[in-house]
Structure 1
């Protein structure tokens, strides 16, 4: 913004200078040429009067000395002719006795008219000013006087004036630039402070609020309003964080106590009431998990998180090994397959929660004897979008319809035919964690039935991956297709109970 303000000031001042100095320069040039021409014509008229007087009194021999004296005094060259146009004296060349009545200015003067103007000089790029006047007596032309003046001194003087105007303009522009820069800095300083404060607020805490006593009145009021808004927002965020941390402790205790009291009823109930007790205990457990999910989402939404480098393959292998026991209880296998995806950007702990929620949903939907596949895919350059590493969690359950897959990420949403005790928050948390990590998640129909949950994350070194892929394509014909480096990774973690 400082640059824009400075450029606007300089542009305006440049237009003003051009509007003032350029017309002044042309007017000065024209006035100097007119003044010089008038002076030359007046001097030629005076000299013609003197020459006509000498000729009238028969003293033509005095003309060379008079012409030479005038030429030395004025820096010009003088030519005097008689009434026929024959040269009587010439201070610049030996043309005495030559008839020059055919020359335009001489012919004009012989007709008793004055001729002035400019023409090319004998040397290239040197113009001269001529003033040719008749010497008359009783309206009879007795002689003609022509004076020639070089315009080089006048041209130099005009050029010096243009240079002085240019230097003056540059000086004015420099002064305006300094003043404009100082004004722009004073105007934009509060804006820069607001920008830094906004960046701090976006990171979660405003440590250096903008000053409210500097800058123009409008910016002072804006800074004061921003500070009040930021303070209020920080207070609200702090209150929400406090609620999320306190509610997790305050709600756990009564829910746990309620579950224990219900379980204590079991020895005193008749067998026909046992089913209702089990359903009540299950609902209490579901309520406890729902509270935990809501609190987790609240903490996630109210905290400023930054993605970090995470090894996707290591996390997938660890979570698959941990979920083996849970899968074994339902006689379900967990398979890790695909090609190593490498490092990706993810919020700390997000990958573990994403995989846990997806595996939990897959286990609920998988029948006994089914297989859940965790497949990783390295980033590939599609040429249209940035390459992304992919994680596929595929089950062999009943799957979802297109309409259900579009609503699956809504909070508390559950399919109409769902018979499990899910809370409807798992996929919502998966989507929130994936977006916070800079990725995206979609649900697709698996090729052989079931659901394929696809998590796409940004690779750490996308540019290097593209370079390596291009290099591998060049050397691929030199490798054997059966080498170990070309075979995809397939690792089977059995979760079936023996």
Structure 2
């Protein structure tokens, strides 16, 4: 913003200077030339009057040479006087005596000898120097006596004009410098609150509490905007804090009554008749489901409260550890749990996110998998096909957890990440919060979560996380690495 404001100030100042200085420079140049021409014309008429008087009194031979030398020294040029037939009478330049035979043929002198009433002003180049030539007739009582020819170099005029243009340029540069200094100060003064607002907006967008923006500096409009932003940020912070506190406290407070309720239901089992034990078992199952739902809400409340920054995580080691932990439970249910973990390197993820993602997906896969089926965990390095070799941008790591259960339709997969949503006919015991928590953890880590139909008819849950290492070279097509298990993957929806 400061750069744009400064550029606008300088552009406006430069436009004003150009509109003022260019006409001023041309006007001075024209007036200076007119002044020189007028001065030369007046001098020629003065010499003409003096020569007419000298010729009439017969003192031309004595007075004219001294007069022309004095005049030439005063104007810095040359003065020549000829009689009515073009014969040289007096000159301030000895070379004119050599050229005396050609003087009558010069245009200015010839016009003056013809008795032209106007002054003939000509600009000629003599010896590579530009001269201003002025010729005036010498007359007395309508009788032609001769002519006066003045030549003076225009270099002095050009130098004076160039000097004025230089002064105008330096003055304009000085004005632009002053405008730049003052404009920079004004732009900084006006832009400081905007930068504070930008900083506070980034803090608020990243999930933190925005520091109140200083409202004592800057234009009134910006100060009013900063005040409105402070009120909005404070109100939003209060609402979010109240929401997080309610979710966390409510989930925490519900844990104890639910545990007590389950204990009482279990203690009722000896006192319940056989025909009522089915209802009692259903009540215990719903109590367990409600407990897991409370745990999920508590986990989501903790995730919203913490604005953790993603860091490098060894996803291969985590998958191997969770495979060892879950394998006995899978064996009890008659389901095989297989892990394919290639060398994919670390990923960027929120601390603890990968463990919770794997646990939720394995729990869902176990509930949906029939006996004698297989659940597969697989890590793949995904590199976009359009990436060039030696591209330093990071690749992605895909975690696939595939089951052989009934799967979902495309409409069900589109709604599976909604809170509290459960697919029709889903196994009992689910809360509808597991996939929602998985998606939030994945997004917090900078990745994406999606569901696809597996080749065996089940569900393929894909978690894509950014790699923590830049992939310098691509091997093969589509990001497959040597030795990696190849398998057809449906296209990911992003």
Q: Does 1:426 align with 2:434?
A: yes
Q: Does 1:240 align with 2:236?
A: no
Q: Does 1:358 align with 2:361?
A: yes
Q: Unaligned 5+ residue runs, structure 2?
A: 388-392, 487-494
Residue number in structure 2 paired with 1:252: 255
Q: Secondary structure at the match of 1:220?
A: helix
Q: Aligned ranges for residues 97-136 of structure 1 at < 5 Å?
A: 97-113=100-116, 114-123=119-128, 126-136=129-139
Q: Secondary structure at the match of 1:120?
A: strand
Residue number in structure 2 paired with 1:41: 41
Checking the alignment, whether the CA contact within 8 Å between 2:368 and 2:427 is kept in structure 1 is no
1:408 to 397, 413, 416: 416
Residue number in structure 2 paired with 1:201: 204
- Aligned partners of 1:305, 1:174: CA distance in 2, in Å? 48
Residue number in structure 2 paired with 1:79: 80
Deviates more, 1:284-293 or 1:237-246: 237-246
**Structure 1 residue 233 displacement after superposition:** 2.1
Residue number in structure 1 paired with 2:449: 441
Residue number in structure 1 paired with 2:483: 487
Residue number in structure 2 paired with 1:10: 10
Checking the alignment, whether the CA contact within 8 Å between 1:52 and 1:142 is kept in structure 2 is yes
1:336-358 CA distance string (max 9 Å, x none)? 11532111111111111111111
- Aligned partners of 2:338, 2:357: CA distance in 1, in Å? 17
Checking the alignment, whether the CA contact within 8 Å between 1:82 and 1:142 is kept in structure 2 is yes
Deviates more, 1:89-98 or 1:339-348: 89-98
Q: Aligned ranges for residues 445-484 of structure 1 at < 5 Å?
A: 445-462=453-470, 465=471, 467-469=472-474
Q: Aligned ranges for residues 126-275 of structure 1 at < 5 Å?
A: 126-206=129-209, 208-275=211-278
Deviates more, 1:221-230 or 1:400-409: 221-230
Checking the alignment, whether the CA contact within 8 Å between 2:336 and 2:374 is kept in structure 1 is yes
CA RMSD of aligned residues (A): 2.2
1:128-160 CA distance string (max 9 Å, x none)? 111111111233332111111111111111111
TM-score, with normalisation over the residues of structure 1? 0.89
1:75-103 CA distance string (max 9 Å, x none)? 11112222233333433313354133332
- Aligned partners of 2:441, 2:293: CA distance in 1, in Å? 17
Q: Aligned ranges for residues 298-309 of structure 1 at < 5 Å?
A: 298-309=301-312
Aligned residue pair count: 473
Residue number in structure 1 paired with 2:29: 29
Deviates more, 1:227-236 or 1:309-318: 227-236
Q: Secondary structure at the match of 1:459?
A: strand
1:367 to 354, 363, 370: 370
**Structure 1 residue 203 displacement after superposition:** 4.3
Checking the alignment, whether the CA contact within 8 Å between 2:439 and 2:448 is kept in structure 1 is yes
Checking the alignment, whether the CA contact within 8 Å between 1:405 and 1:444 is kept in structure 2 is yes
Deviates more, 1:266-275 or 1:186-195: 186-195
**Structure 1 residue 206 displacement after superposition:** 3.7
Would the alpha carbon gap of residues 300 and 30 (structure 1) be closer, same or farther in structure 2, given more than 3 Å must change? same
Q: Unaligned 5+ residue runs, structure 1?
A: 474-484, 491-498
Residue number in structure 2 paired with 1:476: none
Would the alpha carbon gap of residues 170 and 224 (structure 1) be closer, same or farther in structure 2, given more than 3 Å must change? same
Q: Which runs of 4+ in 1 moved over 4 A?
A: none
Residue number in structure 1 paired with 2:492: none
2:344 to 341, 345, 348: 341
**Structure 1 residue 204 displacement after superposition:** 4.1
- Aligned partners of 2:424, 2:461: CA distance in 1, in Å? 20
- Aligned partners of 1:306, 1:277: CA distance in 2, in Å? 46
Q: Does 1:395 align with 2:408?
A: no
TM-score, with normalisation over the residues of structure 2? 0.90
Checking the alignment, whether the CA contact within 8 Å between 1:341 and 1:390 is kept in structure 2 is no
Q: Secondary structure at the match of 2:375?
A: strand
Checking the alignment, whether the CA contact within 8 Å between 1:308 and 1:346 is kept in structure 2 is yes
**Structure 1 residue 71 displacement after superposition:** 1.1
**Structure 1 residue 34 displacement after superposition:** 0.3
Deviates more, 1:291-300 or 1:388-397: 291-300
- Aligned partners of 1:381, 1:387: CA distance in 2, in Å? 8
- Aligned partners of 2:376, 2:126: CA distance in 1, in Å? 98
**Structure 1 residue 6 displacement after superposition:** 1.7
- Aligned partners of 1:449, 1:386: CA distance in 2, in Å? 33
**Structure 1 residue 43 displacement after superposition:** 0.3
